[in-house]
Chains A and B, each alone.
Chain A
C-alpha cells in the first residue's frame, strides 16, 4: 500500500480521506483520478484558503476566478480575457517543449472562453549564466516560446527576464496570454448543461505524453530531474492554430453549450470540472478517444496531457455543424458520450463500466490545507546583500542590466497588426481595433524586492507595473498573477506566500484593479533549496487614444528633464528605510496618471533597480543624451544609485514650469553625450556595452 501511495503521490491522510468519502478503498482508475485531481496543481489545496482574499471585484469584471481566464469589460463593446500561468517544472526538465507547451496551454485558456488571442507576454527567471545547464535552459526556453508563439500567430509584446542564483536549480517560466472579444461576441464558459447533450472531443490525438504531469509538477525536484522527461508534454503549434480558428468559429456560430480545454490532468480534470460545475453527470466512452497509439490504456487516456485538445458540449442538433467546422480545419471531432442526470460520471471501456463516481468527491471534497505560517511583521525583513555601488558601465554590461534584445528579437511582436509599442518599450501597447483606444500590458514582481520583504514585494508586484502604466497615461484596470513559491509545507515559505497574497490583494483594491485570474506554483525547489518567492503579475490598462503616448527614451533635444519622487521610502544597497504606505502609493500613482494625461510629456520612465543613473542611461538613444546635475538639490553623488520606491523621470518641453511637490529639474536633453554632475559618461561605449553585454554572459549561444 505504501508503494501505491507513493506511485500516486497521495499521503496517508489523503488515503484515509478517500476511504471515508467512498466508504471503501479506491479501485482501478479511481487511484489515478484522485492522484491527479487532488494534486496541488489541480486542487490548489495549500493555497485555496488564501486565494479567497482576491475576492474584490470592480464593475468592469465580467468573469473572475473559477473559469479558464478572467474577463473585463472595456466599454464600447470591447472585452478582454487574460491570464498568466507557470510552466516551471516542465521547462526545467525539457526547456524547449516545456516553454512551448506553456504558451500553448495559456492560449487555450483564453480561446476556450471565446476570445481571440491577440498578445502574449512572458516572465522568466533564470539562474546565474554560469550555473549548470543555464545556457541550454535559456536557449531552450526562448526558442520554445518563439517557436510556438510565432507559429500560432499571436505576437509576444512584452516580457521580463530576471537572473539570480536562487533559480539555478529551478527556473521560472510564466506566460501570459490576452484575448479580445469584439462587439457581440459571447463569453463561453465550462459548466456542462442539458441532459442528452453530447460530449465531443476535438483537436489532436491522445498519446502517452504528460501522464502524471500534474502530480509531477506538485513535487520538489530531486537531483535527477532528467528521469522525469516522459512526463513533459510535446506541443504542436500548427494544431493549436487550427484549434483556435475552429473553436472560435463554432463559438461565434453558437454551436456549443460549454467548452473546456484539456490542460493539467487532461481529460480527467476537464470532464470532471465540467460536470461538477454544471451539476450534471457524464457518460464517457474512453475507447472512443482518438489515439496516437492503439496500446494506450484507459488510465493513461484519463491522465494524458497530450496538447491541443478540447472538450465541448453541444446539442445533438448542432453536432453536424460542429463536425463540419472541425473537418474543414482538418481536426478530429469525436463524440465520447453524453450529459446524463447527475451527479455521477460513468467511465466506460468497450461498453464496460470501469468507474462510476461523483465528481464532487474529487473536486468539492478535495482536501484543503491550512498550512502553518506566521503573520508578517517587519522582523521578517531580510537585509539582502545589495548591489555594491558600481560604475554605470559595469551595471549596463551586467546580466541584470544588459539588453534583452537577444531574447525578444526571436519573437514575432507584430503579427495581428495591433502592436503600437513592442518588447523594446517598458509598457506594451496594443491598439483596440474597433474603438482605436490603447490597451497597455505590463508584467510585474521584482525578485530583489521580494528577497528583502515578501509583504513589500507583494505590494510592489502590483504598484511597480501600475506605475509603469500610469506613467504612460494608462488607467490600470485589472491584473492576473502567477504565484511561484517553494515548498508550502515549510512555514517560512507559507508565511511569505500569505504576506504577498495579502499585499497583492490590498494593492489591487487600492488601485481598483482586481485580480481576475491566476495560478499558483508551489514546490519550486531543488534539493531542499527554494527559489526566491516570486508572485509575478500582469496588469492591463486602458488609455483613450494611442496618440502622444510618452516615449520611454529621450525624444527632443532641449527638453527639460524632471525627477518626480514619491517621498518616504528609500531602498538602497539592501537596506530599506522609511515606511511603505500603500494608500499613499496608490494616491500618488493616480496623480502621476492624471499629470501625464493632462500634460504633454515627451518621455517618461520609471526608475527601478540600479536607481536613477541607469534609468537616465536607458532613456538615451544613439543620438540623444542628457546633461543632468544632482548636486544642486543637495544630494550626494552616491544618491544616483539609490533605489527609491517610487520615482519617475519625465521630460517636457523646456517652456513648461513644473511646480509639483517632490518634483525636481534634473537637466536637459542634449545631443550625443550623457553628462552627470559634469562627468561625461561616454555614451558610445555605454551603448556598445549595453548591446554586447548579453553576448558576454551567454557566449555559447549563437
Chain B
C-alpha cells in the first residue's frame, strides 16, 4: 500500500476532517500531522494543508501557522519534491511560508464570499496530471481574503514561469490579479488554490470536480 497522505492541523484549522474524508474517498490513506510536531518526511507520499482560520487569522491570515514547527518538516518535503497542496487558508499559509509566490489580501468588496466558481487550468502540475491545460471545472469558494496579489516583477515571473495554476474563468469573485485562483512553485510540486476541491467530491454536494485534483495526488 502507498504511504499515507499527511494532513496538517493547526489550531483553528476547520476543513481538516473534510480533507480527511476526501482523501479517503479517492482511495488514499490520510494521517494527521500536528502543528507542534515535526515529522519524518519519508513516511508520507504527499501533504495537504487544509483551510480554516489558523490562529483565528490573528495578525494576518496564515502568518502564525507559517512559523509552526510542523512547517519546518513541510519545507523539507517541498524541497525534496514531494507533492504539497494548500487549500484556502492552506494556500495563505504556503504563501506566508514563501513556498508559494504572491499574497492573499482582502476581497474586493471586503466581504466573505461563499459561492461556486468556474475555473480554468492554466498550467500542468503534480496535482492535475489527469487534466489538460484549458480544462474547466466548478468548485466552491468560501473566503474573505482570497484576492491574489503580487508586485509587477513577481507577477511577471509567475506568469512567465508557468506558475499560474488555476484562473477564475467566468467571473472573478474577489478581485484577484489576472483572475488567479491558484498558483504553484517553479518546480510544480507545491500547489495552492483558494477554492475547495474537498467540498466537491459528490454530485449531492453540488459537483464532483474536486476529485480531478485530489485523485492524482500520489503519483507513485
Q: Report A's interface with B, CB cutoff 8 A.
A: 146-147, 150-153, 236-239, 241-242, 329-330, 408-417, 419-420, 431, 546, 702
Contacts and interface: CB of A to CB of B under 8 A. Distances in A.
B179 interface: no
Interface stretch (B73-81, B90-98, B125-133, B194-202): B194-202
A414 B205 contact: yes
Interface string B39-65: 000000000000011011110000000
Nearest to A153: B14
Given A146-B112, A153-B52, A414 B140 contact: yes
A119 to B, nearest CB: 14
A545 B142 CA distance: 27
A414 B14 contact: no
B205 A412 contact: no
Given A413-B114, A414-B205, A238 B199 contact: no
A702 B22 CA distance: 35
A411 B196 CA distance: 15
Given A241-B53, A414-B196, A150 B201 contact: no
A702 B18 contact: no
Interface string B153-170: 000000000000000000
A411 B56 contact: no
A702 B110 contact: yes
Nearest to A546: B204
B111 interface: yes
Given A416-B18, A431-B204, A410 B114 contact: yes
B61 to A, nearest CB: 11
Contacts of A415: 14-15, 18, 142, 199
Contacts of B142: 150, 412-415
Interface string B183-203: 000000000000010110100
Contacts of A702: 109-111
A417 B201 contact: yes
Contacts of A408: 114
B115 interface: yes
A530 to B, nearest CB: 33
A584 to B, nearest CB: 35
5 contacts: A237-B53, A410-B112, A414-B196, A420-B205, A431-B204
B131 to A, nearest CB: 22
Contacts of A152: 14
A412 B12 contact: no
Contacts of B199: 414-415, 417
Contacts of A410: 111-114
B168 to A, nearest CB: 16
Interface residues of B, number: 30
B11 interface: yes
A238 B114 contact: no
B209 interface: no
Nearest to B17: A416
Interface string B9-53: 001101101100110000000000000000000000000000011
B114 A330 contact: no
Given A237-B53, A238-B55, A330 B109 contact: no
A603 B114 CA distance: 25
B120 to A, nearest CB: 22
Contact of A237 (B21, B56, B115, B201): B56
Most A CB within 10 A of own CB, among B14, B17, B110:
B14
A413 B53 CA distance: 15
Contact of B115 (A146, A147, A150, A409): A409
B15 A153 contact: yes
- 9 closest A-B pairs by CB: A153-B14, A238-B56, A412-B142, A151-B53, A417-B18, A414-B199, A410-B112, A420-B204, A146-B112
Contacts of A237: 53, 56
Contacts of B113: 409-410
Contacts of B140: 414
A329 to B, nearest CB: 7
A146 B56 CA distance: 14
B86 to A, nearest CB: 17
A160 to B, nearest CB: 18
B64 to A, nearest CB: 11
A236 B57 CA distance: 11
A411 B18 contact: no
Contacts of A414: 114, 140, 142, 196, 199, 205
Contacts of B52: 153
B11 A242 contact: yes
Contacts of B144: 150
A351 to B, nearest CB: 36
B57 A151 contact: yes
A416 B109 CA distance: 26
Contacts of A238: 11-12, 53, 55-58
Contacts of A147: 112
A419 B199 CA distance: 9
A101 to B, nearest CB: 15
A151 B114 contact: no
Contacts of B53: 150-151, 153, 237-238, 241
Contacts of B22: 417
Contact of A409 (B21, B57, B114): B114
Contact of A412 (B58, B114, B204): B114
Contacts of B111: 409-410, 702
B11 A412 contact: no
A419 B11 contact: no
Contacts of A329: 11
Nearest to A156: B114
Contacts of B11: 238, 241-242, 329-330
Contacts of A411: 112, 114
A150 B112 contact: yes
A42 B58 CA distance: 34
A193 B71 CA distance: 44
A412 B113 CA distance: 8
